[in-house]
Amino acid sequence: MALSFCGNDRGSNAYSVDKGVLDNGCFVDALNLVPHVFLLFITFPILFIGWGSQSSKVQIHHNTWLHFPGHNLRWILTFTLLFVHVCEIAEGIVSNTWSNHLHLFLPALMGFIAATTSVVYYHNIETANFPKLLLALFIYWILAFITKMIKLWKFAEASLGVQYLRFCITALLVVLYGLLMAVEINVIRVRKYVFFANPQRVKPPEDLQDLGVRFLQPFVNLLSKATYWWMNPLIIGAHKRPIELKKIGKLPIAMRALTNYIRLKDSYDEQRKSPSIWKSMYRAFGGPILLSSTFRYMADLLGFAGPLCISGITANMTFGVFFMSSTELLKNTSVLAVLLFLALVLQRTFLQASYYVTIETGINLRGAMIYNKILRLSTSNMSMGEMTLGQINNLVAIETNQLMWFLFLCPNLWAMPVQIIMGVILLYYLLGDSALIGAGVILLLAPVQYLIATKLADTQKSTLDYSTDRLKKTTEILKGIKLLKLYAWENIFCDRVEETRGKELTSLKTFALYTSMSIFMNAAIPIAAVLATFVTHAYIEEVRLSPAKAFASLALFHILVTPLFLLSTVVRFAVKALVSVQKLSEFLQSDEIGDDSWRNGEMYMSLEVGKKYKYHGDVSAHTRICILNVWSHLQSLGEFSWVNDGFFTWGSNLSTLTDINIRIPTGQLTMIVGQVGCGKSSLLLAMLGEMQTISGKVYWSKLPDYEILFDGSIRYFTGGLHIKNRYSVAYAAQKSWLLNATVEENITFGSPFNKQRYKAVIDACSLQPDIDLLPFGDQTEIGERGINLSGGQRQRICVARALYQNTNIVFLDDPFSALDIHLSDHLMQEGILKFLQDDKRTLVLVTHKLQYLIHADWIIAMKDGSVLREGTLKDIQTHDVELYEHWKTLMNRQDQELEKETEMESQTTLERKTLRRAFYSREAKNQIDDEDEEEEVEEDDDDNMSTTTSRRSKIQWKMCCRYLSSGGFLMVFLMVSSKLAKHSVMVAIDYWLAAWTSSNPHNQSLHRSYVPVFIILCGAAIALCLITSLTVEFLGVAAATNLHHNLLNKIIHAPIRFFDVTPLGQILNRFSADTNIIDQHIPPTLESLTRSTLLCLSAIGVIAFVTPAFLIALVPLAVAFYFIQKYFRVASKDLQDLDDSTQLPLLCHFSETAEGLTTIRAFRHEARFKQRMLELTDTNNTAYLFLSAANRWLEVRTDYLGAVIVLTAAVAAIWSTSQSGLVGLGLTYALTVTNYLNWVVRNLADLEVQMAAVKKVNSFLSTESENYEGSMGNKSFPDTIKIKIHDLCVRYDTMLKPVLKHVNAHINPGQKVGICGRTGSGKSSLSLAFFNMVDVFEGKIVIDGIDICKLPLQTLRSRLSIILQDPVLFSGSIRLNLDPERTCTDDRLWEALEIAQLKNIVKALPGGLDAVVTEGGENFSVGQRQLFCLARAFVRKSSILIMDEATASIDMATENILQKVVMTAFADRTVVTIAHRVHTILTADLVIVMKRGSIMEYGKPEILMEQEDGLFASFVKADM
């Protein structure tokens, strides 16, 4: 039967035009072809010639420039047009069953091609900005509109109405062409490119001219927006080169933190009375939220198309009609298959769009909220404890994120009820009353899920508490590891950690239990619902269940479960969000500091009295708060600042400072003195405007004067100059505050760098020696990310910052508190008297060191919050003799201390030593050989702050095996077998359902015989669900237990060298972040991955079983899927790393700002910090947005793949001749694939990131342990000990040079030996050699004939005692610190404390021996800590005591007592003292002088003293 355009029905006169040309239907259809052909003829040449000449002149991201009006509308209309054309084609083909009338569908096909061409053509014209060519489209729309109108008119004439589908389609096309014509006219109207004299010139948006903007989502066309096509280059490029911060560029202006901050602030400020965050959020971001919800609704409603199409396809396996009605078309299975495909594609597109919009809004919101408020927080909030730093950090890290997550999930809140109601209605329509029973089961079990979800959250909290505790103990162990090893206590402390870990694991098990319950509920609810429904249906209803209804309802149950499962999560998040908003509102409404108009010359603004000046006492309304404008250098005034009748408070009703009347002379040195807590610092802060003023005025000299009265009006006193320049105050707070930046940046603090001035400042603060010790000099990072300096070093940097700033006024708050006497003097002479006075700067100095009063030009003495005296030292000497005498006695006392301190090695030298030790290990690190280097570098990089840490790695299968093997073979076997069994049973249930519904419809008894098997299968499936969810979770717990246990033991028993080489932070990271991932994140990921993979595989298996033809289509799909996931995983890992690495600086910056508020405000640097904050936020947001766009990219692609799978499965089913039950089965499975494909990839990507934690932990598991066994048994030491050191050579590592070379010595029992030598001469190394802590590679130490290297370490170390230079105490009780093994009686402990001069101190503490020692022993002074360490050595009555510079941090008097005590308490034992002050070893029996690892002099001190040119003699001279 030949094809012909008008058909070839026999006897028909298809080509006759007797009744008029237009009355021949075939001719009208031919007429309809004309516009389409016209368009193709015109556009193809233009499309292929290319756009070389026409490109726009501005350099922009070329393919993204949108500029024609009505852009989105045009895309939507074109898509609708394409859909209608598809319907027209379908209608033509279906109604063409009897004869071959090409004219029924050919014009429609051409229309489809033309519509596609039109949109491609439009896109090209648009990116080339060449609107003249749009004329072609304009003409096309007009022609198409006219030809379709003729067709419609002819239909109407033939009285074919709405009941016929072809009439509806034609009418729709007329409307669409009309609308497109209107869009085209609108473009002409706006752009005036034709018919007008002067066309409109258009500039691209600012963002696109900036090539740094790489986030193009707002600028690309609709199709690219929906499919994230613009992400392709980035994601595919990631395979070749890691994605770096440069590559993701900046955010578009509309998405930057500043823009959104202003939006939110405006809407927040609009609400004068009681601003609510919810309202402001709605005003600022309501639009996008509504848009997202709309998308969400559309997606949800389209979701129901799936089950309905399945039911249609399964029911209608029949064909044929001619002029058909709308319902008839929908009975055609091929049409339904295509519809199903389109519905799925649309549904997924809408869903992803909805997700994306909410995420973008959430990000915009997160960036906006908090920072500005921090800069205005009143200081009293912080000091009165209303706001702690921790709370502020939580606001940033947790509360804003909670709010953001709530925004992500909030469309679910209103979309879910609709979804559930719709689902239940459809079920009822399909199954009648029995559907309600199934729905009832689901609804009844929902509260149980909610309960489990809340329990989960609680358990997580308690787990967190335990892990914090465990981390604290681990940190202590690592910090004091040297001591623990020397005392052989590592196992005792290791058990302490294991005990806490045990509690944590119990909590983790509960967590695992609840998690597995939650997973189980999710999997079991649909099974239970299906079981209840179908069994009741079999017994209640008369009508047999048809395959169409059975599988449609099966699909519906699957749809229903998701919202119910999510509902519990969303409700939980909603509750959290409410709490967060409450906290944020409190924070945003807390007190602010007064407006500092007195320091801004150019800003005259009235004060908003009341915020800051709430005063509850009775102050008359006329009290004037007088805040005065900028000061100048006017020497004529003589003082820059004075305070009249000042009453200041920190926020309670009580004033902290009362009746303050002071003046501060310009260009001179004013000192403020007084006892601790008398209000000296408060006075400085009051002058800086940080305190709340109750009454009184602070004046600063300036022109002109003006004051602000209580009613807000301004009164000028004097006219005169208006000084533009405003000054800041250089202020060094009492508690030193440093930025996480380089030393240089900390000192310059945003001022321009001036080399000469910088050098002068560094010399004045004597920072040069400290800087020389740092690995990168003054470019070394300090603070949280860098090296932590000691108190004195930090304080000197803060003072240097104040000196460096070019300000007229410098406030120094007790700058000498952490400095020793030499430095204080140097700072006073060089820094304050010389540097500042030369510049004629006004200086206010708070100090306790009265010996400097002689330098002061003006003195203010404070007492109990008010001024006791002010004047020069002479004034006070004449007028207040008593005070002057009091000062004199104090000065004398300070002078005595001074003498003492000078005799000691100064505190600073000690600090520098500590610093040198910190770097000693780093230098050693550089000498490790190559292969170690690689391992080292890799490790280091993972913890490095650099953003280029991504090393390309496939998912580490080796690590997966490692992880699973840690979980134990039995658990792995159980997991695998139960998973496989579960999925097989699930398939069996559905297969049984297919067989049941396809059975003979008339035999009721046969029909019911299927029920028992169905019940058994469902029961088995539910049981297996429980088993699988439990095995996976408990496999996770087992793996976590083993990995942590092994890691802890490995690290505790590692040689001391390992701790010198590996930074503490890196080891801690293994115990914190990595352990947390292994504990809590890997198990759910693993569960989800195995489940979704098995689901997809079983679905594909079922489809292939039903319609083998499907396998042919599977090959290209599998290839596509492979490439999508391959590219995505790499890009996702990079973006994830970027997100993590950009978040850290952000949080650090926040906590820094909150800590340094007073300093930042005194310097007037708020704007700079805010700017930095916005930059950091934007960087982090860029990374996060790209990450979420990449996730959308993946999901859109896998969803489309899923839709194609459904389409091929449906088409294959229609063409094959299998029974309808199996077709339903195949399609139901195909629908589940769309949901799970992207989970497979997402989970793979997550698992890859998480397995890195296992890898890092594993890399530490390969460290060697010390040799604890020794080659001899457990020999005991006798009490009288002879020590022989024979040709001893020692090195720290096989790669390093020896530190001791051929040392020989002989020590008799009970001798007191002194070892001295310069720093680095090998004294400490020798002491470590006694404990076998270093690598002895030649020679030996023999104690009573036993080579110590052969003894077991525990035995050796438990018989020796050592007192280290740095005192180490552990948190716990005093008893734990003296005797962790619990072997001594209380009397013995008290005796030791008495010897160490501590008995009275400990007696006074609550609990005596059980009194609390805080972390690091912070509740005792350094000297006391050192004494505890001595007591610890006495408790252990060992035969050899080694003292390693043990008396460094003790004053002279106590030291003398100790020397005596050691001589008496250890009279019969061997004591080896390593001395830094030579006079302490003059009484020794034997002195060893070392230099560069060798013994230079050896003998009795008296004999060595006589050698005039000897080393020892020179040391003694130097020490005198």
Rounded percentage of the chain residues whose pLDDT exceeds 70? 82
Q: Quick one: pLDDT at residue 70?
A: 86
Query: Would you give the DSSP letter of residue 1292?
Result: S
Q: Quick one: pLDDT at residue 194?
A: 73
Which whole-number Å values give the CA distances from 1354 to 325, 919, 1026, 1332, 1472, in the listed order?
A: 94, 30, 48, 11, 21
| 570-595 mean pLDDT | 76
**Residue 1140 carries which side chain, given as an amino acid letter?**
D
Q: Quick one: pLDDT at residue 459?
A: 87
More confident position, 1264 or 1520: 1264
More confident position, 582 or 671: 671
Q: List the single range of 174-188, 604-618, 1140-1154, 1396-1410 with lowest mean pLDDT.
A: 604-618
| 1211-1217 mean pLDDT | 81
In tens, the pLDDT along 303-356 reads 888 888 888 887 764 433 345 566 666 667 777 888 888 888 888 888 888 888
Average pLDDT, the chain: 79
CA atoms within 13 A on the CB side of 1179: 20
| 1199-1205 mean pLDDT | 90
Rounded percentage of the chain residues whose pLDDT exceeds 90? 12
| 749-761 mean pLDDT | 89
In tens, the pLDDT along 1275-1294 reads 666 656 788 888 889 888 88
More confident position, 896 or 251: 251
Helix (H) or strand (E) holding 316: none
Q: List the single range of 395-404, 1070-1079, 1181-1190 with lowest mean pLDDT.
A: 395-404
In tens, the pLDDT along 78-137 reads 999 999 998 888 888 777 665 567 777 888 899 999 999 998 888 888 877 777 888 889
| 784-806 mean pLDDT | 78
Is residue 1388 within 8 Å of 1436, Cβ to Cβ? no
More confident position, 624 or 772: 772
More confident position, 1306 or 192: 1306
Q: Is the pLDDT of residue 830 over 80?
A: yes
More confident position, 594 or 223: 223
Q: Quick one: pLDDT at residue 1410?
A: 86
Q: Quick one: pLDDT at residue 540?
A: 83
Q: Is the pLDDT of residue 880 over 90?
A: no
Q: Is the pLDDT of residue 605 over 80?
A: no
| 998-1026 mean pLDDT | 84
Nearest to 145 by CA among 115, 194, 179, 188: 179
With bands split at pLDDT 50, 70 and 90, how would you rate the model's confidence at 387?
A: low
Rounded Cα distance, 477 and 480, in Å: 5
Let me know if 956 is exposed, middle or buried by CB neighbors in 10 A (0-12, 13-18, 19+): middle
Q: Quick one: pLDDT at residue 497?
A: 92
Q: Which single residue is written with the structure tokens 């340094």?
A: 1156
In tens, the pLDDT along 487-500 reads 888 888 999 999 99
More confident position, 1253 or 1271: 1253
3-state secondary structure 475-494: HHHHHCHHHHHHHCCHHHHH
Q: What angle do CA 420, 422, 425 make, to 5 degrees?
A: 110
Q: Which single residue is written with the structure tokens 């689902």?
A: 423
Q: List the single range of 249-253, 1133-1137, 1474-1478 with lowest mean pLDDT.
A: 1474-1478
Q: Quick one: pLDDT at residue 147?
A: 92
Q: Quick one: pLDDT at residue 12?
A: 54
Rounded Cα distance, 640 and 667, in Å: 8
Q: Is the pLDDT of residue 502 over 90?
A: yes
Q: Quick one: pLDDT at residue 114?
A: 94
Is the bond into 205 cis (omega within 30 degrees of 0)? no
Q: Quick one: pLDDT at residue 913?
A: 63
In tens, the pLDDT along 32-74 reads 888 999 999 888 888 777 544 444 444 444 555 666 888 889 9
Q: Is the pLDDT of residue 141 over 90?
A: yes
- Phi and psi torsions of 1104, nearest 5°: -60, -35
- Phi and psi torsions of 870, nearest 5°: -140, 150
Q: Quick one: pLDDT at residue 616?
A: 34
Is residue 155 within 8 Å of 170, Cβ to Cβ? yes
Q: What angle do CA 257, 263, 267 make, to 5 degrees?
A: 140
| 13-32 mean pLDDT | 72
Q: Is the pLDDT of residue 1158 over 80?
A: yes
Q: Quick one: pLDDT at residue 58?
A: 42
Q: Which single residue is written with the structure tokens 């006495």?
A: 1434
With bands split at pLDDT 50, 70 and 90, how would you rate the model's confidence at 724?
A: very low
Q: Is the pLDDT of residue 1119 over 90?
A: yes
With bands split at pLDDT 50, 70 and 90, how would you rate the model's confidence at 550?
A: confident
**What order do you get walking across the sheet with 1346-1347 strand by strand?**
1300-1307, 1283-1291, 1335-1343, 1346-1347
Q: Quick one: pLDDT at residue 945?
A: 37
Rounded Cα distance, 129 and 122, in Å: 10
Q: Is the pLDDT of residue 922 over 50?
A: no
Q: Is the pLDDT of residue 394 over 60?
A: yes
Q: Quick one: pLDDT at residue 904?
A: 47
Residues 6+ apart with CB under 8 A from 349: 226, 227, 1196, 1199
Q: What is the pTM of this model?
A: 0.78
Q: For residue 401, how many other CB atoms are within 10 A of its CB? A: 13
| 286-297 mean pLDDT | 86
Q: For residue 553, how many other CB atoms are within 10 A of its CB? A: 29
Q: Is the pLDDT of residue 720 over 60?
A: no
Q: Quick one: pLDDT at residue 819?
A: 73
| 864-883 mean pLDDT | 86
**Residue 1408 carries which side chain, given as an amino acid letter?**
G
Q: Is the pLDDT of residue 589 over 50?
A: yes
Q: Quick one: pLDDT at residue 717?
A: 34
More confident position, 1043 or 942: 1043
Among 242-256, 581-595, 1010-1024, 1152-1166, which range has the highest average pLDDT? 1010-1024
Q: Quick one: pLDDT at residue 1044?
A: 94
In tens, the pLDDT along 684-708 reads 888 888 887 788 877 776 533 333 3
What does DSSP say about strands 1335-1343 and 1283-1291: parallel, antiparallel, or unpaired? antiparallel
Q: Is the pLDDT of residue 751 over 60?
A: yes
Q: What is the DSSP string of 554-575?
A: HHHHHHHHHHHHHHHHHHHHHH
Among 372-381, 943-952, 1042-1051, which range has the highest average pLDDT? 1042-1051
| 725-748 mean pLDDT | 80
Q: Is the pLDDT of residue 892 over 90?
A: no
| 853-867 mean pLDDT | 88
With bands split at pLDDT 50, 70 and 90, how would you rate the model's confidence at 195?
A: confident
3-state secondary structure of 367: helix
Q: Is the pLDDT of residue 483 over 50?
A: yes
